[in-house]
């Protein structure tokens, strides 16, 4: 049962990471490209880290806290870094694609 849960978590993580990376490469402007790494890739890496924490918690003595701490750090810093990059891009007046501008 544990192997099935771990496999599902790793597959979900790989899928979200792939979608986030694909979005980063294919989106037309900087502001749209922020969504790939901050949303999908964060969920993907978080899912893989949770799978790793479960695996090492069940196969070694004690709870594996390294992965849990990395996951918490990732979930706290990804939105903050995306917000700071967006504010810097607004300050530098980075051009947007016409169809994404607000009226």
Using one digit for the tens of pLDDT, what is the confidence trace for 52-91? 999 988 888 888 888 889 988 988 888 898 899 999 999 9
Residue 4: its pLDDT value, please?
96
**DSSP reduced 3-state for 67:** helix
Whether residue 54 contacts residue 6, with contact meaning beta carbons closer than 8 Å, is answered with yes
Residue 3: its pLDDT value, please?
94
| Side-chain-facing half-sphere of 30: CA atoms under 13 Å | 14
Residue 47: its pLDDT value, please?
93
Direct distance between the N- and C-terminal alpha carbons of the chain, in angstroms, rounded to an integer: 53
Share of the chain above pLDDT 70, in %: 95
pTM > 0.85: no
């Amino acid at each position: 049962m544990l192997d099935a849960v771990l496999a599902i978590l790793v597959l979900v993580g790989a899928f979200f990471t792939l979608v986030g990376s694909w979005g980063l490469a294919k989106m037309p402007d900087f502001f749209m490209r922020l969504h790939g790494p901050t949303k999908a890739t964060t969920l993907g890496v978080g899912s893989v880290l949770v799978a790793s924490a479960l695996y090492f918690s069940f196969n070694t003595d004690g709870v594996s806290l390294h992965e849990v701490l990395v996951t918490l750090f990732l979930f706290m810093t990804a939105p903050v870094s995306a917000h700071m990059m967006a504010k810097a891009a607004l300050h530098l007046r980075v051009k947007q694609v016409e169809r994404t501008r607000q009226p």
